[in-house]
Structure 1
């Protein structure tokens, strides 16, 4: 079958995408929702569905736009109603006709006729309105919960994970066919809409040959994850959090696959979900959103390869010296070529928006920092790829008070630091997890007289700043290698008008609170990704909220103070999620 889908194109600008990454998929953000009945033979039936986009810029977009069919959604569920298909062994592995797309791997597929089809493409971020609600907004979303649409998305993900290499032998069955012994209690405690959802979803179960005792143990410690970060729904885990004394209002729908009480909780009163990581976190302080949106986000991450399928163990010789480096489980791709390519395209778009407004401005092909300099200082992964490829502008400022490095200024910064940054990395064995300055600010950070809270800019002591320099720091996490913080010279938010994207009802303050999502209902807390910040800056230049002059963007670091006002001049809202 020839796959067909729609990918929106980035602004061509430098043409960098085709120069460096073609035919690699940069990003497929728009997924499709097609109604397919699981109770009969597979049918193709078009329906309208709410679009779920992968970026959280702003809150004003109309979410009710049409979807486009994506390859993973073209694959049928691997079981038919009333049957159990054994999966998981190399001999019995079932492969869907249209596998999920790879992210950062070859973007051509072979058709049945042996020809290849180019799947490369990329996406310009657009305004999207992923809405969240505080738990006190009574009944705000309950009437819009669609159990069938949610079950459909869940089952598409189960198709992917069930077919992944190296999975243990298992069957796919309807949820209540697996948890027969628990069904009576569940029907007494769970809400009608949630029961409707559970009755339509498939989960993995052990092979029929297992004894009841072994089968129960298999389900308690299910070896097949729903995503790299979440376990499948399990009747044994729904009230794993009962020590929280939350009663029957919440269940742990998709638990943490490790031994944790956290995960994605479902609020049966409002039919909303939220990812909660810490077992004693105040549930009412969390942003809550739609299960359908969350499941669509997880499916997108499989499709673009951020959730990476494992290497097939049978294809690797155990004597291969790299054997232990292969990932044989579903995992998160922390850094991928598409990550830095997306950031580079946004950076180019920002430079072009500024250059268009300055007479005689140029953008050179020369990179900001040469590779030898970056190698000398042990810069790795995302920071290395970005800084060694980002083009050099003729102007100084790419945002208010924010400049760019060159090899000389980068060397001077590191030498002035006396090599202590590298010693610090070595002492803490953090490698490329260490924060590093990408775009320096022109004003040092003043921590004198600040509250203790403001001294922990990276959740650790402020000495992690390089020479107390302000600017944009890369702060990689275990799952997102391109996450950043804008560190201001001063703390902001004292006027009570600074908000995270996910909690517009709660004010925040600090040196690094601007342009941040805050707690995310789908993935927990995570910082803003670099391309999201660059996009907001580009839009600020285009809208005129960032003025330009001969040296680039004007206003200096003092301009960011205007974000803490009743009617802020600058827009720092990056939305709920990237």
Structure 2
């Protein structure tokens, strides 16, 4: 199974270009020119950390560089990579969680109870990266095994500096509450365990193997938030700090943040 298709790349590039264009159009003053290419910026000047034929490398090389700071509430174009290989060289057989849009806040560190009773860190990424305990919140490309059974190189996760779900309004695409455990027979209400990296995720789809939501859908949702006036724009880009994401678990706003089910 290919880890991404040309259509996946085209859809993500189109969604990103439309999002950047929508923000530029709403800024008080229009940018005179738009630079091309985010590859050098996002990789901190070391594009060799990404395989040349990877989705991330090809996507970033073709993205226009925005003339603003914030592409979403509290998120800016990343300028360093917390999970990059120490060697500084790409490994064609292994990828790493790639930070695309970064918050100034650190990602929330979730814990889970191990079978032996100890509380251990529960990373939103593959177990290979559990040794890195501090990294920025933000939107990451999350695939690390491009040759695995069901790879999605354009799969992504929005990792927040706090959890969602405690108010029982935030939903995944399948309609389940974020952090909802399967309701047992006789229970009057589902048990909720708030989560920090499930916003926009698909949840459960009977017809496909589980995978992280594809980047184009998240960028498309952000474009929708701009076009429908749910997010405002000023001279710095999208208005509102990272705390604005708490709206996803509020009664008056949760539906704006739920992503429709995709394949």
Structure with max Cα Rg: 1
Confirm or deny: 8 A CA contact 1:545 1:569 kept in the other structure. no
Q: How many residues get paired?
A: 232
Shift of 1:562: 1.1
| TM-score using structure 2 length | 0.77
1:469 corresponds to which residue? Answer: 136
Change (3 A) 1:424 1:375: closer
Q: CA 1:497/1:571 → structure 2, altered by over 3 Å: closer, same or farther?
A: same
Match of 1:402 among 75, 78, 88: 75
**3-state SS in 2 of match to 1:571:** helix
Runs of 4+ in 1 over 6 A off after TM superposition: none
Does the 8 Å contact 2:74/2:242 carry over to 1? yes
Q: 1:546, 1:570 within 8 Å by CA — same for their partners in 2?
A: no
Match of 1:456 in 2: 123
The gaps in structure 1 that reach 5 residues or longer are 1-331
Partner Cα separation in structure 2 for residue 514 and residue 394 of structure 1:
27
Map 1:412-427; keep pairs closer than 5 Å: 413-414=80-81, 421-423=84-86
CA drift of 1:546 comes to 0.9
How do 1:279-428 residues align onto structure 2 when only pairs under 5 Å count? 332-362=1-31, 364-370=34-40, 373-380=45-52, 381-405=54-78, 409=79, 413-414=80-81, 421-423=84-86
Q: Offset at 1:455?
A: 2.7
CA separation of 1:553 and 1:569: change in aligned 2, threshold 3 A: farther
> Is the 2:165–2:195 contact (alpha carbons within 8 Å) kept by the matching residues of 1?
yes
Q: CA–CA distance in 1 between the matches of 2:93 and 2:88?
A: 6
1:444-487 deviation digits (Å, cap 9, x = unpaired):
2242xx43277321253764769511111111263322100001
In terms of fraction of residues, the more helix-rich structure is 1
Deviation string, structure 1 residues 105-155 (Cα, Å, up to 9, x no partner): xxxxxxxxxxxxxxxxxxxxxxxxxxxxxxxxxxxxxxxxxxxxxxxxxxx
Work out the CA distance in 2 between the residues paired with 1:489 and 1:379.
29
- List gaps (5 residues or longer) in structure 2: 114-120, 180-193
CA contact (8 A) 1:387 1:438 kept: no
CA deviation profile, 1:75-120 (whole Å, cap 9, x unmatched): xxxxxxxxxxxxxxxxxxxxxxxxxxxxxxxxxxxxxxxxxxxxxx
Instruction: Tell me: higher relative CO, structure 1 or 2? Use CA pairs within 8 A at least 6 residues apart.
Output: 2
Report the TM-score, using the length of structure 1 for normalisation: 0.37
Q: Secondary structure at the match of 2:21?
A: helix
Asked whether the 8 Å contact 1:545–1:570 carries over to 2, the reply is: no
SS in 2 for 1:349: helix
